Amino acid sequence: MNLEEITFEILENHSLCDYCLGRQFSNLATGTTNLKRGQTIKSFLAMKFTSLDSKNNVAALQVLSQSGSDLARKFLEKKAILPKETSECYICENLLLKIESLTEVIQKEIKDLEVRTFLIGTILPKEYLEREKELKEKYQVHQSEYLKQEFNRNIGKKLTEKTHLNTDFQTPEIVIETHPISLNVHLKISSLFIYGKYNKYVRTIPQTRWPCRKCKGKGCKECDHTGKRYDVSVEELIEHEALRVTKGEKGVLHGAGREDIDARMLGSGRPFVLEIINPKARSIDLAELEKCTNLHVREQIEVRNYRFSTKNEVIYLKRSAEESIKKYRALIEFDSPITNKDLEKIESQFCEIIIKQRTPKRVSHRRADKVRSKKVYSVQSKIENKREVESIIVCDGGCYVKELISGDEGRTSPSIADVVGTKAHCKELDVLEIEEKTYSKEK
Ligand SMILES: [Zn+2]
């Protein structure tokens, strides 16, 4: 069968709108749209049947009129024949005619959002897709596009025409889910990612939000109805100004590792990516944000090196934290007096050595119990007073330094306490430096 015969047979059995008819032949002629293909095929057939000598031709024009051909209808009217009413499209039930209205709904919904790129997704009940499949099999037509794609592409095109927004298939700033039947749209705003480094100068705040263990954040007597175990965290201090300028809903701090609450983070700082959930503004001045953040957080923490980041960098940051080398300063208190000879022993023992650490008791309630191998590169110490020593420790990321000092009742071996033969505990801990590997987008 040729194009004319197939088309006519389809239209005799099923009325199709221009979009849906055109889509059945989307392999024919490039550089046009399914809408135009459908219109062209219908017009061509209408012209062909306009020599009204036979009854067959009137019937054929009525079929075309029923599927919405203006040309066929006008011709019948001119010959004083009442054209048949246009029937609903068999595949899309005329939903494709709602593209204009759907685009208007989208425009209204996004008018207060600052976005540059989008991606459209369309939700349709499966009956629609089944009817389309049925036609494809019955008439052996070449549909290279499906109904959902027709919606996505046409709405996307309209939206680009009416706004300054562009489609982005990889990392759209907003995903717009359209529901043609109810004429509703659902927006999913992509997070905004900001890279930076932070210092922490106090020994009282955790890196991220710490909900009250009793009420799990709901608020109870124990936490004075705050829902929090600690008043504030690095995460909350950093997000405060960022949420103000992006009008975001919430911030999530993804750190390259974390220090203990009572450990300071000094040196050039710990890399992090702040994820802003549901931001309404994106083109913000990061230098200004950095300045405002440092004013807001006062002496507690400090941020620097702000730049825009991506979700992929978060994954990279988490992975690289384990592999990077860290330098600590620890103030160690021993149970008995320490001599310079002890310090020499520590230094020679902990030189390029692999230690075994079983998950420490203090974190075993939230971390899997396993034995990790970590490298200690060097421990250099000086006596502060009889039982107190300051040590500079260089070791692998993820090494538990407090346990390297105390031995954690044999869970970490060897330990500084083992080597000296007396109990030892970490009185103060500071992270002095985190060796950073440069992130490249190609990875
Ligand atoms: Zn249709």
Q: What would the DSSP string read from start to end of 111-155?
A: TT---SEEEEEE---HHHHHHHHHHHHHHT-B--S-HHHHHHHHH
Res 225: pLDDT: 86
- What number of CA atoms fall less than 13 Å from residue 131's CA on the CB side? 17
- What number of CA atoms fall less than 13 Å from residue 440's CA on the CB side? 2
- With respect to residue 427, please indicate whether it lies within any of the assigned structural domains: yes
User: Nearest Cα to 239, choosing from 272, 283, 214?
Assistant: 272
Query: Which CATH number covers residue 168?
Result: 3.30.2300.10
Q: Among residues 78, 112, 130, which one ends one of the domains? A: 78
Secondary structure E strands in 225-370: 250-255, 263-277, 301-309, 325-334, 353-358
Mean pLDDT of 315-319: 90
- With respect to residue 205, please indicate whether it lies within any of the assigned structural domains: yes
Which pair of tokens denotes residue 297? 């957080």
The amino acid occupying position 378 is S
Res 229: pLDDT: 86
In the reported structure, the alpha carbon of residue 128 is separated from the centroid of ligand 1 by a whole-number distance in angstroms of 10
Query: Which CATH number covers residue 403?
Result: 3.30.70.3190
- With respect to residue 441, please indicate whether it lies within any of the assigned structural domains: no
The yes-or-no answer on residue 262 being catalytic is no
pLDDT reading at 418 higher than 70 = yes
Residue 87 pLDDT grade (very low, low, confident, very high; cuts 50, 70, 90) = very high
- Residue reference for tokens 């974390």: 258
Are 400 and 361 part of one and the same domain?
Answer: yes
Burial of 215 (0-12, 13-18, 19+ CB in 10 A): middle
Are 341 and 330 part of one and the same domain?
Answer: yes
pLDDT per residue as tens digits for the range 52-70 = 677 788 889 999 999 999 9
Helix (H) or strand (E) holding 373: strand 371-385
Res 441: pLDDT: 58
Are 208 and 293 part of one and the same domain?
Answer: yes
- With respect to residue 88, please indicate whether it lies within any of the assigned structural domains: no
Distance CA 71, CA 86 (A): 13
In the reported structure, the alpha carbon of residue 360 is separated from the centroid of ligand 1 by a whole-number distance in angstroms of 64
Are 318 and 209 part of one and the same domain?
Answer: yes
Res 164: pLDDT: 86
Are 136 and 171 part of one and the same domain?
Answer: yes
Mean pLDDT of 422-441: 87
Q: Among residues 156, 188, 220, which one ends one of the domains? A: 188
Cα-based distances in Å from 15 to 6, 38, 247: 13, 12, 49
- With respect to residue 89, please indicate whether it lies within any of the assigned structural domains: no
In the reported structure, the alpha carbon of residue 244 is separated from the centroid of ligand 1 by a whole-number distance in angstroms of 46
Res 253: pLDDT: 97
Helix (H) or strand (E) holding 366: none
pLDDT per residue as tens digits for the range 219-267 = 888 888 888 888 899 999 999 999 999 999 999 999 999 999 999 999 9
Residue 382 pLDDT grade (very low, low, confident, very high; cuts 50, 70, 90) = very high
Q: Among residues 259, 294, 322, which one ends one of the domains? A: 322
In the reported structure, the alpha carbon of residue 91 is separated from the centroid of ligand 1 by a whole-number distance in angstroms of 5
Res 442: pLDDT: 47
In the reported structure, the alpha carbon of residue 342 is separated from the centroid of ligand 1 by a whole-number distance in angstroms of 85
CB 75 within 8 A of CB 50: yes
Residue-averaged pLDDT of the chain: 92
CB 196 within 8 A of CB 305: yes
3-state secondary structure 166-231: EECCCCCCEEEEEECCCCEEEEEECCEEEEEEEEECCCCCCCCCCECCCCCCCCCCCCCCCCECCC
Res 55: pLDDT: 78
pLDDT reading at 357 higher than 50 = yes
In the reported structure, the alpha carbon of residue 176 is separated from the centroid of ligand 1 by a whole-number distance in angstroms of 22
Mean pLDDT of 175-183: 96
Are 171 and 200 part of one and the same domain?
Answer: no
Are 198 and 313 part of one and the same domain?
Answer: yes
**Which residue out of 260, 335, 369, 430 is catalytically annotated?**
260
The residue range of the domain holding 144 is 95-188
Whether the link from the prior residue into 414 is cis, omega within 30° of 0, is yes
17-21, 45-49, 354-358, 420-424: least confident range: 45-49
Res 169: pLDDT: 94
pLDDT reading at 439 higher than 80 = no
In the reported structure, the alpha carbon of residue 239 is separated from the centroid of ligand 1 by a whole-number distance in angstroms of 48
pTM: 0.84
Res 219: pLDDT: 86
Res 443: pLDDT: 41
Number of domains in the chain: 4
